[in-house]
Structure 1
Amino acid sequence: MTQIKSFSARTLDANALKSFAHPLRLRIYELLDEHGPATATGLAALLGQNTGATSYHLRELAKHGMIEVVAGMGRGKEKYWRITPGGFSYGEANPADPEVAGALDYLLDDLVRTRGAELSRWREESATAPEEWVQASVYGRRSLRLTPEETARMRDQVFEVLERYRALSDSGEREGAGHVVVHFDVLPVGTNRS
C-alpha cells in the first residue's frame, strides 16, 4: 500500500476517517473553519439541529483530534470549539478495509464538492470584493509532462511552501489577515488509456 506523504500535524487513522465521514460532522467542521470558534448552541442554530445532537458530534470530532475547546473563551459550562491547528491528512491512498475505503471515498467526494462550491462562491463574490483581495487571488491550471518521480517532487515542494504559510496562519491573529483557501491538486490525465 502506498502511504501519502503528510505535510500535516497528524494523519487520520481508520477510526477517525470513519467518524469524520458523517454529513453533520463535515458541516460542523466547515462552519468552524469558515467562521472560527463557536459553541454547540450557536452551531445548532446555524444547522437547524438541537444542541444535544450538535454537542455529541462536537465531542466525536474532538475525540479524533479534529477540533478542540478554546481555552479562555466562554462562561461557566459554555465551551467554544475551534479546528485543531496543524491540519490533517487522510493517510493511505487505498485502504484495504472496505469500510475505511468507503469512508475515504465519501470524504474525497465531499472535498470535490466543497472545492467546487468555494470556487463558485469566490467567482460571485470577487465582483464586489476589496481590490487587494481580488489582486491577491488567482485561478490557476497548468498542464505539464512529468514522470511520476518528478510529479511527486513537485507536489512535495509545493506542500513545503504551503506548510510555511500554514504555520504562519496558525501563529495567531494578524492585522489584515483573512480566511484564505488554497486548492492544490496534482493528478495524471489519461493514465488508463490503451
Structure 2
Amino acid sequence: MSEPPTPKVRTLDPHSLRGLAHPLRMRLLSSLRHDGPATASQLAEKFGESSGSTSYHLRQLAAHGFVEDDPGRGKGRERWWKAAADGTRFDDTLFADPDPAVRGAADLFIHEVATQHTQEVATWLGTHHDWPEEWWRSSDLSDFTLRLTATQAFELKEKVHALIESYRDLAPPPGTEGVAQVRLHTHAFPRATD
C-alpha cells in the first residue's frame, strides 16, 4: 500500500497575504480546495456573484500562486481552475509587520477564516438531519476552559495538530463506502477574566 501524499501547504508572506485577503477570494479558494476544480461561472452561481467578478478574483489568485488552470477539464474556451496547494499556513509575525496594509490584511484574513468556520458549523447544524445517525454521534461541538501558560497553550496546539495530521495516514482508499470529508476547526485563545 502506498503512503498518502503529504499535503502541500503554502505559508503566507506579506505579498501573498495581500493577494489572498479578500472575502470572495478566500471563499473561492476554499471551494476549490474542498469541492474540487470549477469554472468561474460555476463558482459565480454557487456564491451569487457575477462570472466577471469570480473570473477577476480567480485571476488575482492565480497571479499570487493560489490557483492554477486545470487543463485536463473542460472544452473549448471553458477555463477550469484548481487550488495550487492543499492548505495555507498563517505566520503570526504578519500581525507585527511594519506595513499597516499588511497588518490590515492579516486582520481581514483571520476574521474571514473565523467567519468561514462559523458558516460551516451553521451549515452542519442546519443539515445534520440529512446525515445518518452515525455521523451525528461522530460530530463534535465542544469547548473547554483550561488554565495554561502561553508555552503550555503552544504545546497543546502542536500536539492537537500532530494528532489531526496522523489521521491523514488512515484515510480509507477512494471508493470506500461511508466516507465523508470531515472538517475540523481548532480555536485556542486566552480570555480575560474579572
Same fold (TM over 0.5): yes
Quote the residue 2:151 is aligned against: 149
Q: CA shift at 1:11, angstroms? A: 0.8
User: After the TM superposition, which of the residue ranges 173-182 and 109-118 deviates more from structure 2?
Assistant: 173-182
The one-letter code of the counterpart of 2:17 is L
Q: Is the Cα contact below 8 Å between 1:17 and 1:104 reproduced in 2?
A: yes
Secondary structure of 1:162's counterpart equals: helix
The normalised TM-score by structure 1 is 0.80
State the distance in 1 between where 2:130 and 2:48 align.
30
Quote the residue 1:4 is aligned against: none
Is there any run of 5+ residues in structure 2 with no aligned partner, and where?
A: 1-6
Q: Is the Cα contact below 8 Å between 2:33 and 2:86 reproduced in 1?
A: no
Secondary structure of 1:88's counterpart equals: strand
Deviations 1:152-178 (A, max 9, x none): 111111111223345777x98453432
The normalised TM-score by structure 2 is 0.80
Q: CA RMSD in A?
A: 2.7
Secondary structure of 1:126's counterpart equals: helix
Report % sequence identity: 35
CA separation of 1:67/1:132 partners in 2, compared to 1, >3 Å: closer, same or farther? farther
Q: Is the Cα contact below 8 Å between 1:20 and 1:61 reproduced in 2?
A: yes
Quote the residue 1:129 is aligned against: 131
Quote the residue 1:3 is aligned against: none
Q: CA shift at 1:49, angstroms? A: 4.1
Moved over 4 A (4+): 166-169, 171-174
Q: Is the Cα contact below 8 Å between 2:10 and 2:88 reproduced in 1?
A: yes
Is there any run of 5+ residues in structure 1 with no aligned partner, and where?
A: 1-6
CA separation of 1:11/1:80 partners in 2, compared to 1, >3 Å: closer, same or farther? same
Aligned residues: 185
Quote the residue 2:89 is aligned against: 89
Q: Per chain length, whose mean CA-contact separation is higher, i.e. which structure has more relative contact order (CA < 8 Å, sep 6+)? A: 1
